[in-house]
Amino acid sequence: MLKGKTAVVTGGTRGIGFAVVKKFLENGASVALWGSRQKTVDQALEKLRAEDPAWKVIGMAPDLGSLQEVENAMGRVKEQFGRVDILVNNAGISARESLYDYKEEDFEKIMDLNLNAVFRCAKAAAVLMKEQGGGVILNTSSMVSIYGQAAGVGYPASKFGVNGLTKSLARELGRDHIRVNAVAPGVIRTDMVAALPEELIEPLIRTIPLGRVGEPEDIANAFLFLASDLASYVTGEILSVDGAAMT
Ligand code: NAD
């Protein structure tokens, strides 16, 4: 479904991002896997190469807090693969503190990665996509961007922001043939969720009509659809992939 396309996936070392990288490779794309540390990037590359040495995958660890570094890294992807067709903004962190314990610097940290870095990566990619005649930008939202969350206010606030960026960029970049969409995962079995206490997870599962937490591959399949030409007239959408969960 992605033969001949080149993709950048942020936070590609584990969890949802790793599943997206794998799914895109299986579907014929060349992929630049970005992570926060070169060591974890190299470990992820090793796993992928062990699975299929023919997969075209490179890794890098730019600081997503710096527009200059992001632009340089995006330029290196273009040098290596010739173009950048798809960007998946997946890197993200979460926190559950109550407002009374929430430190200002923690709020800023979460906004900087979950929202500001999406702006930086989208900006760096859009310049290249416009030059080459189009592309696809996909963001990672969350079900809490619809309902909010009763603790850790920075996380849902950042994801509401991601929805706003997604819808606005879709309107702004449509004329450059750049589609912009987001996937809003529900509760997905990754390290982010494993870090939550059992007493939070159990009641969450009980609210999910499909009766299970999601797997990273459930989310990767949605990204694959949105990245592919099957979604050629889909832009500005926030696609919920959450088993109809309600929090
Ligand atoms: P995870 O913790 O397993 O992986 C997060 C990824 O982000 C890792 O690859 C990590 O290296 C990267 N990352 C963390 N800090 C970084 C930094 N400072 N710079 C660059 N990269 C950094 O998380 P996950 O569950 O796979 O989540 C991936 C995305 O999905 C996030 O945006 C998250 O908000 C979203 N999401 C997850 C769930 C869920 O239930 N797991 C639900 C809704 C949304």
In angstroms, the CA 147 to CA 241 distance is: 14
In angstroms, the CA 109 to CA 44 distance is: 25
User: pLDDT category, 247, cuts 50, 70, 90?
Assistant: low
Name the pTM for this structure: 0.97
Q: Above 90 in pLDDT, residue 193?
A: no
| Helix 38-51 and helix 15-26, axial crossing angle in degrees, nearest 10 | 40
Q: What are the boundaries of each domain within the chain? A: 6-239
Cα→Cα distances 82→6, 75, 174, 224, Å: 8, 10, 23, 21
pLDDT of residue 236: 98
Residue 155 annotated as catalytic: yes
User: How large a percentage of the chain has pLDDT more than 70?
Assistant: 100
Between 2.60.40.10, 3.40.50.720, 3.65.10.10, 3.75.10.20, what CATH number should domain 6-239 receive? Answer: 3.40.50.720
Residue range 214-230: mean pLDDT, rounded:
98
60 lines ligand 1 (CB under 6 A): no
187 lines ligand 1 (CB under 6 A): yes
Residues 140-164: tens digit of each pLDDT: 999 999 889 999 999 999 999 999 9
201 lines ligand 1 (CB under 6 A): no
Q: Above 90 in pLDDT, residue 246?
A: no
pLDDT of residue 86: 99
Å from CA of 204 to ligand 1 middle: 19
21 lines ligand 1 (CB under 6 A): no
In angstroms, the CA 91 to CA 162 distance is: 12
Mutate to test the pocket of ligand 1, among 18, 22, 36 (most ligand atoms within 8 A of CB): 36
Å from CA of 127 to ligand 1 middle: 25
Q: Which residue has a Cα nearest atom 16 of ligand 1?
A: 36
Q: Above 90 in pLDDT, residue 30?
A: yes
User: pLDDT category, 222, cuts 50, 70, 90?
Assistant: very high
pLDDT of residue 205: 87
The per-residue pLDDT of the chain, averaged, comes to: 96
